[in-house]
Amino acid sequence: MFDIISSKDSNIKNDVLSGITVALALVPEAVAFAFVAGVEPMIGLYAAFMMGLITSAIGGRPGMISGATGAMAVVMVSLVSEHGVQYLFAAVVLAGLLQILCGVFRLGKFIRLVPYPVMLGFVNGLAIVIFLAQLGQFKVASALGEQQWMQGTMLYWMLGLVALTMAIIYLLPRLTKAIPASLAAIITITLLVHGLDLEARTVIDFVRDMLPADQKDSATLAGELPSFAIPMVPFTWETFMIVLPTAVILCLVGLIESLLTLTLIDEMTDTRGRGNKECIGQGVANTVNGFFGGMGGCAMIGQSMININSGGRGRLSGITAAIVLLGFILFAAPLIEMIPLAALVGVMFVVVIGTFEWASFRIIRGVNKEDAFVLFLVTAVTVIADLAIAVVVGVIVSALVFAWKHARHIEVKSHVDKDGWKVYELHGPLFFGSVSHFRDLFDIANDPDDVVIDFQSSRIWDSSGIDALDGLADKYENAGKKLHIRHVSQECLALLSKANKFVEINVNEDPRYRVATDKLG
């Protein structure tokens, strides 16, 4: 992966400075995702504060930043539009409780089942999504309130300031690492824009463009402390059934994005986070969000990359980002309102370059076409639909590809022993994908009266394999031939209904393994 890490070690200075940088970048993202979900900007800012603070304090991945995210926001839209924001708060509480249960029952370990091509597709897809999201900053509201692309001087200044921001981030570390390059770039561009009175859009301009015409003049990011309130919804079974589908999707989307981001940061920092603890941390944060007026969220790969690139490694970096963000909301809203959008776009473009797995193009030439297909599929679905859907699709396709490739790996070596018995020595797995080929390996009509099927070098994986063996035994019995089955496990014997009487038990040589089936349930 493209190396954007400027520091391998965690220390207080790096964590605090990187936290400040992340706080500045969180503002437009939180506001934008609040509008996507159909709620007020302050609900998104509260979510960024609470998610960042709680997950950084008790989560399983120090240095990872959580907040309001687009993946979660798009799930909330229909619930908010149909039932209102109070139902959203109830759904976020329920989603948080479900995430806590996932952590308690240690389900975080299943993220290990995500294949490497799916991880590559996830990373590349997110990089493209982050890039496309920044293009929206190149639009302005027309007199009729419609969004249109920048033109003329404003566009040229925007492009120039973005390029200057990226140049500072890349070149400053060669001179000094006393201050995170991203933070230095944001401060420099802000001073330049306001010092020279350049024609450049700021954060407050972005907020105004998102608001209705009658609210533009009063636009502000100033707010109060979030306050505790039980969601104002009827506590009935009907309400539960309304919020449950949204809560389940929020739970799954949040955990998938968080755990995959955790895995990515593990790889980049050569450390290892704790998936189950992160599930609990995400769950507690979302539960608190629902009770304190936040829209909830999950890990943010863009802000996490900013933090890692700026030297943030410890929990203090995320805690600092959350507290600084709250400080801006309470005491210094005018400071973040005046930050040029070009500076934040430049920071995110650097994140895109560092996040995209450029080695994919080289890897594709070296791997098989199936892995390349999965990589491109996950990337495309991430961009077109949603990263959670993309990961699920990628895992399913990878599993089907694996099954297809191994379906014909079962083969047989046969010989006739000194007693005239024909011995079939099986090699390879017997499972749902290989049962068809398994049945074609035997010549029932021309076999002698005594036939041996030896599973010494084979293994029955699932109930389809069990049924196939039962069916084969039935055919030999109908043909009037004596079948001998050797070297199957005790569980296989228990699951067989027709072939069990043909199994020859050898306590010392028979293997021991379990079969994936629900017949014993």
In whole angstroms, give the CA distance from residue 40 to residue 52: 19
pTM: 0.72
Write out pLDDT tens, residues 335-355: 888 989 999 889 888 888 887
Q: Where are the domains of the chain?
A: 12-225+238-371, 372-405, 411-504
In whole angstroms, give the CA distance from residue 422 to residue 453: 9
**Per CATH, domain 411-504 is 3.30.750.24:** yes
pLDDT of 410 strictly over 90: no
For residues 424-460, one letter each, b for 16 or more C-beta atoms within 10 angstroms of the residue's C-beta and e for the rest, the string is: bbbebbbbbbbbebbeeebeeeebeeebbbbbeebbb
pLDDT at 5 (0 to 100)? 44
In whole angstroms, give the CA distance from residue 126 to residue 2: 15
Write out pLDDT tens, residues 172-221: 888 887 788 888 899 999 999 999 988 899 988 888 877 777 778 788 88
Compute the radius of gyration of the chain from its Cα atoms.
29
In whole angstroms, give the CA distance from residue 40 to residue 295: 10
Residue 425 DSSP symbol: E
Give the mean pLDDT of the chain: 87
Write out pLDDT tens, residues 378-388: 999 988 877 77
Q: Residue 289 contacts by C-beta under 8 Å, 6 or more apart in sequence?
A: 46, 47, 50, 51, 89, 92, 93, 96, 295, 296, 297
Provide, rounded to the nearest whole percent, the portion of the chain with pLDDT above 70: 94
In whole angstroms, give the CA distance from residue 149 to residue 515: 60
Angle between helices 12-37 and 301-309 in degrees, nearest 10: 160
HEC-encoded secondary structure of 94-160: HHHHHHHHHHHCCHHHHHHHCCHHHHHHHHHHHHHHHHHHHHHHHEEECCCCCEEECCHHHHHHHHH
Write out pLDDT tens, residues 473-493: 999 999 999 999 998 887 788
Lowest mean pLDDT among 24-33, 188-197, 258-267: 24-33
In whole angstroms, give the CA distance from residue 463 to residue 474: 16
Residue 503 DSSP symbol: E
In whole angstroms, give the CA distance from residue 39 to residue 473: 64
